[in-house]
Amino acid sequence: MELASLIERRYSCRSYADRPVDRALVRKICKEAALAPSACNSQPWKMHALYGEKKAAAARALQGLGLNAHAARAPVLIAVEQTPAKYMSRFDGIVPPNAWAPCDIGILAAHIVLLAEANGLQSCIIGYDADPAAVKELLHTENPVPLFIALGYAEEGAPMPAKKRKPTEDVFTEEE
């Protein structure tokens, strides 16, 4: 499918069908997503595909402020752990540690959701984590876990929301 069409079709799905997702497909998506660019090719990420009880526990940790109930209904949650980034030594003392890691994680997430769409799956990036300590304990890590990605098949008849975006003239300029 053409990239522009994938970008148009992708949306944050919050209604998932009670249908499992093939684990091999999730592995393939994560493997392909890891071809994403990153600063100094540091690849400061680890993707944890969570199923069953572990997924349910992670979904509980993400819920709060009336948000993220859909995490519990998605059959898969991918937790994206931010691992320490190693940059070229010329940056030592010049840029803070892990300076570009959040950007890299965002680009990885974009790759995951577009690959999901290309493979007939819906997704939702989830940044709000009500209980980060519980997440770290669950994943046995001290590293930050800045993003989760819910994956699954959309519930039949679930509406695809219209895209609401700022006007192009507000977000794009041409300058010379």
Q: Residue 28 belongs to what H/E stretch? A: helix 23-33
Strand locations in 30-139, DSSP E? 45-50, 76-82, 122-126
161 lines the binding site for ligand FMN (CB under 6 A): yes
Q: Figure out which of the listed residues 125, 130, 139, 158 binds ligand FMN, where binding follows CB under 6 A.
A: 125
128 lines the binding site for ligand FMN (CB under 6 A): yes
Nearer to ligand FMN, 21 or 146 (CB): 146
- The residue length of the chain stands at 176
Binding mask 75-114 for ligand FMN (x = CB under 6 A): ----------------------------------------
Q: Provide, rounded to whole angstroms, the least separation between the CB of residue 131 and ligand FMN.
A: 13
For residue 78, count CB atoms less than 10 angstroms from its CB and return exposed for 0-12, middle for 13-18, buried for 19 or more: buried
74 lines the binding site for ligand FMN (CB under 6 A): no
For residue 139, count CB atoms less than 10 angstroms from its CB and return exposed for 0-12, middle for 13-18, buried for 19 or more: middle
Which residue has the CB atom at the shortest distance from ligand FMN?
Answer: 127
Nearer to ligand FMN, 140 or 163 (CB): 163
Whether the CB-CB separation of 151 and 76 falls below 8 Å is answered with: yes
d(CA 105, CA 126): 13
Residues that bind ligand FMN (CB under 6 A): 11-12, 67-68, 124-128, 161, 163
